[in-house]
Amino acid sequence: MDLFPQVLQAVAVEYGFVLAYMNDGTVRRFDARPLIRAGGVFAPLQDESVFRKTLTVLNDTVAWDISGKRDPADCIDIDPFTIQAMPRIVDPLAG
């Protein structure tokens, strides 16, 4: 049975990089830097503080709650299939 990919937790490990903890038990490393550099809708994330403080999970994927309203229709989010296609890594936060 194939699972629809869902992000359960998103953690900024360094500016531009997100660890995405998936519902299939994997951890994916997402590099948002190309999107941030491109600007447009991602322009607010050029501020590292905004990148880190607004990172969350909305719509079952990596998202940035720029408005602070926790409104899934009012966020910057990444397609969960895009996140699932990112490199699988060993959880560096596991202790």
Each residue of 35-61: pLDDT tens digit?
Answer: 999 999 999 999 999 999 999 999 999
On whether residue 18 sits in a domain, the answer given is yes
Q: How far apart are CA 35 and CA 90, in angstroms?
A: 24
Predicted local distance difference test score (pLDDT) of residue 94: 84
On whether residue 24 sits in a domain, the answer given is yes
Q: How far apart are CA 6 and CA 57, in angstroms?
A: 9
- Cα–Cα distance list, 86 to 31, 38, 70, 75 (Å): 8, 19, 25, 21
User: Domain count of the chain?
Assistant: 1
Over range 69-95, report the average pLDDT. 92
On whether residue 63 sits in a domain, the answer given is yes
Over range 52-79, report the average pLDDT. 95
- Cα–Cα distance list, 11 to 4, 7, 40, 56 (Å): 21, 11, 23, 8
- Cα–Cα distance list, 59 to 33, 41, 75, 89 (Å): 21, 17, 9, 23
On whether residue 1 sits in a domain, the answer given is no
On whether residue 2 sits in a domain, the answer given is no
Confidence of residue 17 (pLDDT cuts 50, 70, 90): very high
On whether residue 76 sits in a domain, the answer given is yes
End-to-end Cα, the chain, rounded Å: 31
Predicted local distance difference test score (pLDDT) of residue 2: 64
Tell me 60's DSSP state. T
Domain that holds residue 18: 7-88
On whether residue 16 sits in a domain, the answer given is yes
Name the residue with higher pLDDT: 93 or 82.
Answer: 82
